[in-house]
Amino acid sequence: MSAAPSSTPIPSHWIAPEWPAPAQVRGVITTRAGGASRGAFESFNLGANVGDDALAVAQNRRELRRYLPAEPLWMRQVHGVRVIDAESAAAETEADGAVTRTAGRVLAVLTADCLPVLLCDEAGTVAGIAHAGWRGLAAGVIEAVVAAMRVPPERVLAYIGPGIGAAAYEVGPEVREAFLAQGAEAAQAFTAREGGRFFADLALLARQRLRCVGVARVHAGAHCTYAEEKKFFSFRRDGATGRMASLIWLEEG
């Protein structure tokens, strides 16, 4: 799968998802390198509401736009389950998932430990994206995006992008209980720590939710936003920090 229009190769420090998506499905995931932001947001921060200089964010977004067919549909993410349709939604609509069936409409989520989940159907007629932190996963954001795609789940492919790894994401018992309330298999994603706390494997939880809804073809990279400090922003590691963008769109087939 090509990551951007063939006339504009993406920067080598960005990530092209490795999954067997149709040729007209395009995707890219940015990293923290190569931008105008400084200090805690160094340097390719794309989050407009995290405390960074607005002019630097605007410059970074202009640079990103060079590799895309259109301006991304930026959402106001709230760790919920609302899914919007790119054909009718306005920018900065409150949502954590989006779908499109129109060539050139670019879907985007911003992350700095949460998982970006890219989705498409095997025919390349619809694309979707989800912003999946633990609250969104537990509430069903992945299931909501798959439902909004309106294709049989067995025809859907998924790619789980960079997020905080299982060796770095310590959570309280309430997080484990929220998932166990929906299925005993979630226990596999939690490793006990001292003090009644746990390490949580967000990527495994996402795989489980995809499998439960009928999506069997799931691919993922091997990155940890917390551990790879030079490559990714991480809210859990740094507190004040920037955001990477994960993007997906359809091109004319």
Q: pLDDT digit string (tens) for 27-40?
A: 999 999 999 999 99
The answer, yes or no, to whether residue 7 has pLDDT greater than 60, is: no
Amino acid letter at 185?
E
**CATH number of the domain where residue 149 is located:** 3.60.140.10
Q: What is the pLDDT of residues 88-109, one digit of tens each?
A: 999 999 999 999 999 999 999 9
Amino acid letter at 219?
H
Please tell me the distance from the alpha carbon of residue 73 to that of residue 235, in angstroms, as a whole number.
Answer: 23
In a domain, 189, yes or no: no
pLDDT of residue 252: 87
In a domain, 171, yes or no: no
In a domain, 193, yes or no: no
Mean pLDDT, the chain, integer: 96
In a domain, 16, yes or no: no
Domain limits at 238? Answer: 25-163+217-250
Where would I find the beta strands (DSSP E) of 144-220? 156-160, 170-171, 190-192, 198-200, 217-220
Entry pTM: 0.96
In a domain, 105, yes or no: yes
Please tell me the distance from the alpha carbon of residue 134 to that of residue 113, in angstroms, as a whole number.
Answer: 10
In a domain, 137, yes or no: yes
Spell out the residues 6+ positions from residue 245 whose beta carbon is closer than 8 angstroms to its own: 29, 30, 46, 64, 72, 108, 109, 110
In a domain, 210, yes or no: no
In a domain, 37, yes or no: yes
Q: How many domains does the chain have?
A: 1
